[in-house]
Amino acid sequence: MTPEAKYMKIVSLVAMFAGLLIAICGIVLCILDFDIADISVIVSGVLGTAVGATGARKANVPSTAKTVVIPAIIVGLICVVCAGVVGFSNAAVPNIVGDAASGIFCANVSLSAQRVVKALEKI
């Protein structure tokens, strides 16, 4: 496994576990005091977990890493847009932070996958 693929694997696993933690925090927020903005935290966490798991799986075969780049960018943008919408709706700060963090982790997975693709092009 190349160093770039190892890096992608680590970043993807971190994103997966962070997404899981964000989803759990969203569930706790729903249980404590339900607000519609809490649903966006759960969705962002689940999407972040899915992107992280896909990236970790695709890092095992570096030639398939290019299939992670575009979906990770799209999911990251969705999460950041959700953070912006939730921010303008005067929701609690944990909702905004959860959505934005999930988007940032997805962007990291996308960048690490792009790094693997560029390393393969050099060969």
pLDDT at position 2 is 87
Torsion of CA 42, 44, 46, 47, to 10 degrees: 160
Q: How far apart are CA 116 and CA 123, in angstroms?
A: 11
Q: What is the mean pLDDT of the chain?
A: 91
pLDDT at position 37 is 84
pLDDT at position 33 is 84
Q: How far apart are CA 85 and CA 80, in angstroms?
A: 9
Q: Which residues of the chain have pLDDT under 70?
A: none
Q: Which residue has the tokens 């693929």?
A: 5
pLDDT at position 87 is 86
pLDDT at position 1 is 82
